[in-house]
Amino acid sequence: MGGPASDSVTPRKKKPSKSKKQPPAPARRTRWSDPKLYFNRELSLLEFQRRVLAQAGLPGTPLLERLRFLTITSSNLDEFFEIRVAGLKQQIEFGLFQPGIDGRGPVEALEDISKVAHELVDEQYRVLNDEVLPALERAGIRLLRRSDWSERQARWVERYFETEVLPVLTPVALDPAHPFPVVQNKGLNFIVDVEGSDPFGRDVGRAVVPVPRSLPRVIPFPRDLARRYDGFTLLSSVIHANIEKVFPGLQVKGCYQFRVTRNSDLEVDEEEVDNLLKALRSEIRRRRFSHPVRLEVADNCPDEISRFLLQRFRLGPEDLYQVHGPVNLNRIVAMFSMVKRAELKFPTFVPGLPRRLQDAEDIFEVVRRRPVLLHHPYQSFRPVIEWLSQAARDPKVLAIKMTLYRTGADSEVVDALVRAARAGKEVTVVVEIRARFDEEANIRLAGRLQDAGANVVYGVVGHKTHAKAVLIVRREGRNLRRYVHVGTGNYHPGTAQAYTDIGLMSADRELAEDVHHMFMQLTGLGRPPAMNKLLLAPVELYPSLLKMIEEEAEAAARGEKAQIVAKMNSLADPGMIQALYKASQAGVQIDLIVRGICRLRPGVPGVSENIRVRSILGRFLEHPRVYYFHAGGEKRLFGSSADWMERNLHNRIETCFPIALEQHRKRVWREVLKAALDDNSTAWELQADGSYVQIEPPAGKRRKSAQAEALKMLAGQ
C-alpha cells in the first residue's frame, strides 16, 4: 500500500532518530484526570462555528457561497442552543453540577459559552453588514431595507402586504383575557407598543404578532422595479413598514422583531413506553413549544421591552442576543437559489464513475469480480441507487436488508425498497426514527415501507442505529450469494452531493457474513458469533481501537516505526484521548484530521508533542471516518460510521470495515488522508490554547486543497 513511508506529507519538526537498541525513556507519570489535558466540548464546537464563519469572509470564495456559509453558521448556532445549551440548562435545573473532564460544571460552561457565542453573533452580523451585503450590492444584488425603497417599491410592498401577508397575521393583545402567546421555536415575531382604545374600550398598550412559517422570509421585487439589479427585501421589513394596518385606529409607538430558541432535544424513555412511534410523535409536537433557551431581538429594541421578554420567557440577561439585522438570519439563504448567477457560485461538476461501472449493465457481476470503492461526492452515488433498483427488479434477489439513518423525504433509495417489497422480496429496513431533526421524515418513510410490505424495525432499545450497511441476498445457480454495501455516510442522495464520504460495494464472503450477523443482532436476539472483519460498536470497536493504538505505542517503545492517522468529525471520548496521549508519550507520530469537536489538547509538554490536529473546511462537508495504523508495516486502514465520541463508541450501533484491497488502500490514503495532510489552503491547525490557525503555503509553494485535488482527480474538474 502507498502510505506515509513512500508519500511525503506536511513536514513536522525533525526528532532525533531512535535506535532499536536504545528505546525512549519511560514517560513521566501523568495524571489523566487533569482538566488541563482536555478542551470543553461545547467551546470546541463553537470554535468550529468560528471556522465556518471565517469561510464567509474569504474573498476567494464565490460571493453567493459566502452568503451561504454565513447562513450555515446561523443554522449551526440554532442547533447548538437547541441541544447543547438546552442540555446544560437542564443539568442545572435537575441539580447536576458535577464538572466534566475539562473541570467545568454546567454553570461555568454556560458562562464561557455566553461570552464566546455573543462574540460569534456580533461577528456574524459584522460580516453580513460590512462585507457580504456590500459585496453583493457591487455585484448587482441588493437586499433593500425600508429606507432604501423607492416610492414605486414602497407602493408595491404595501399592496403585497395587504394581499399576501395581512390575511394570515393574527395579532394577540396582551391583557387579562389574552395572556402572552406561546410562540413557536425559532419563529419570527413582533412585539408592538400601541396607543389608543378600540370599540370595546380596551386600552391595551402592547401586542404580539407571530408570523406564520408559511410566509416567505425573502421577497424578490418584480423586474420592472429593479431593472439594474436583483432586488430583494425581507418579510420583517414588509411587516414593519405596514404594521399600522394590523392595528387600525390605533397609533403604533414601536415595533420590534424577536425570536425565541427552545430546547429541541427529544426526551423519550424507550424502556418506559409501549409504542416508540407514538411517544416520538408527541415529543416532536412538544419540541415547537418547549423550554426557551435564547432570546434574539433587533438591536433597536428598547431595554425595557427586552427585559419584559426575558421575564416572560424566564431567561437571564446572558441569554439575550441583540442583532443588527434580521433575527432569523439563516432564512436569507433563500437568495442563494433565487439568484441565477453561476459565476457567483461554486462551479458545477459531474461526479465521476469508476471505469468498471461506466458501461456496466449488471452491477452484481462487476462487484462479484472485485469490490468497488466510491469516494463521494467526487464520484457519483448513482451506482448505489441503481444497484438497489436492479436488486428490486432482479428475480434472483431474494432479500434486501438495510439501515436508514437519514435518507430524505423523497428518496430514490426508499422507492427501490418499496418496489422490492411489492415484488415479493424479503425486505427488512432498520429505520432510526430518533435521528435528530429527521424524526418526522423517518416516521413517514417507515410507514410507507410498512404499507408496501417491508419488515420495519427500530433497532436496539437504548442504542441509536448509526451504522451504514446494505445486505443483498441473491440466488446464483444452486448457491446463495451475499452482497454488501458499507460506508461512512448516510443513504441520502442529496447529502451525497455535498458531504465527502467513502462507500464499499463488495461480495466478500466474510464481510457479507459479518453484515448478516449484524442484522441478526438488530432485528432479533442472541449473542452473535465472532466477526471475521467487521468491527461493531458498542461491542468490538472500542476495545479494538484501543488495542491498535496500544500496539503502535509498544512498537514506538521498541524504537520501531509507529504511526496513526485518523480522520473523523469529532473526537471527545476520554478513553480514546488518553490512549492517544500514551501513544504520543511512547513516540508514536499521530496526525488527527478532526472537522468539528476535538477535546484532545495537542502540544502539551511530556504528553502530546507528537500529536497534530487539523480541520479541513471547504466547499463540501468533510464527513468520512477513516483510521490508519502502521501496524508493523501491515498498514491497516478502516472506514467507519463512528466518530471517536462516547455516544458513538458506547451507545450506538456503528460499523467499522477494513479497506482490504491494495488498490483501494492506496486510493483512500492518497485521496482522503494524505490529501488532508498536504492541504495548505483550507486546513486549520489546532493550537495548545484551543484556538485554530489557518495553514498557509510556504513561500514559493503552490496552494493545495484536498477537495480541489479530489475534484480534479475523480470528477475531471
Per-residue cell: 535? 468491527
What are the DSSP E strand ranges found in 57-171? 141-143
For residues 19 and 558, what is the distance between their CA atoms, to the nearest angstrom?
8
This prediction's pTM: 0.89
What's the pLDDT score for residue 360? 85
What's the pLDDT score for residue 120? 97
Q: State the burial class of residue 171 (Cβ atoms within 10 Å of its Cβ: 0-12, 13-18, 19+).
A: middle
Q: Report whether the peptide linkage leading into residue 538 is cis, meaning its omega lies within 30 degrees of zero.
A: yes
Contact residues for 314 (Cβ-Cβ < 8 A; gap 6+): 292
CATH 3.30.1840.10 fits 42-344, yes or no: yes
- Total residues belonging to the chain: 717
Q: Please, what's the largest Cα pairwise distance for the chain?
A: 98
DSSP 3: -
Beta strands 621-622 and 499-506: pairing type?
A: parallel
Q: Give counts: helices (H), strands (E), the chain.
A: 22, 27
What's the pLDDT score for residue 21? 39
Residue with cell 425565541: 260
Number of Cβ atoms within 10 Å of the Cβ of 107 = 12
- Partnered with residue 402 across adjacent β-strands are 429, 470
| Fold agreement between 42-344 and 537-715 | no
Does the annotation count 492 as an active-site position? no
- Partnered with residue 195 across adjacent β-strands are 251
- Partnered with residue 592 across adjacent β-strands are 566, 613
Q: Give the chain's radius of gyration (CA, Å).
A: 28
What's the pLDDT score for residue 269? 41
Q: One of 463, 466, 492, 623 is an active-site residue; which one? A: 466
Low-confidence ranges of the chain (pLDDT < 50): 2, 4-27, 266, 268-274, 276-277, 279-280, 283-284, 287, 435
Residue with cell 405596514: 242
pLDDT in tens, 216-272: 999 999 999 987 899 999 999 999 999 999 999 889 999 999 999 999 874 544 444
Q: Which fold has domain 537-715?
A: Endonuclease; Chain A (3.30.870)
Beta strands 426-431 and 397-404: pairing type?
A: parallel
Alpha helix segments (H runs only) across 453-560: 509-523, 541-557
Domain 355-532 carries which CATH code?
3.30.870.10
- Partnered with residue 626 across adjacent β-strands are 567, 639
Contact residues for 498 (Cβ-Cβ < 8 A; gap 6+): 377, 620, 621
Per-residue cell: 319? 441569554
Q: Three-class SS string for 577-606?
A: HHHHHHHHHHCCEEEEEECCCECECCCCCC
Report domain extents, the chain: 42-344, 355-532, 537-715
Contact between 426 and 399 (Cβ < 8 Å): yes
Contact between 480 and 344 (Cβ < 8 Å): no
Collapsing DSSP to helix, strand or coil, 205 comes out as coil
Dihedral over alpha carbons 174, 178, 184, 186 (to 10 degrees): 0
Backbone dihedral angles phi then psi of residue 159, each to the nearest 5 degrees? -65, -40
- Partnered with residue 653 across adjacent β-strands are 465
